[in-house]
Amino acid sequence: MRLDDRILALLFAALGATMIALTANFPEFPGQRYGPALFPRILGGLMIGASAILLLRASRVGGVRGVRFDPFMSDPARMTSFLLVPGAVVFYLLAAEPLGFIPTAFAMTLVMMLWFRVPVLRALVVAVAATALVNWFFGTLMRVPLPRGLFMQIVAGG
């Protein structure tokens, strides 16, 4: 499926603006210049900026008008690959609280890598390393409270 770049630019600009607006009530950390709103605001601003560039470029170049369905949409394997990423996001939203960040992130990474035909041993190593790195970066370094879930209850012994 191909959308007109102008439609995509407007959708992503609206998403960026929504991200910035949703951070209005985020608390500030005492004694620090930045808080939990910093990264979503930077990302939202970058999305708006990139959308503006895309909008200007699409206005000059032209291209697809409206929506056009590409032939790959009829291939089930390609369609599954296309839907796997948003499906992983939905899985994370549903599973992270009850299971915990570590098993949810590990499962997402492993399943996606195996689907895209990464060798099993490499997929396992990368899934473990990526999960550990992201957990360390956000949970320890950035002090973002990641979902603990059932996994941490079992590991912590209660």
88 and 151 share one domain: yes
Output the pLDDT for position 67.
60
110 and 152 share one domain: yes
Give the closest residue to 12 by CA, choosing from 44, 41, 60: 44
83 and 29 share one domain: no
Where among 33, 50, 69 does a domain terminate? Answer: 69
Where among 69, 91, 113 does a domain terminate? Answer: 69
In the chain the beta strands, taken as DSSP E runs, fall at 2-3, 67-68
Domain extent, residue 53, equals 1-69
Q: pTM of the predicted model, to two decimals?
A: 0.63
Three-state DSSP class for 25? coil
Count of domains in the chain?
A: 2
Where among 54, 69, 84 does a domain terminate? Answer: 69
**Residue-wise pLDDT tens for the chain (158 aa)?**
566 788 889 999 999 999 999 998 888 878 877 788 888 999 999 999 999 999 888 877 665 565 666 676 778 888 888 889 999 999 999 999 999 999 999 999 999 999 999 999 999 999 999 999 999 998 888 888 889 888 777 877 75
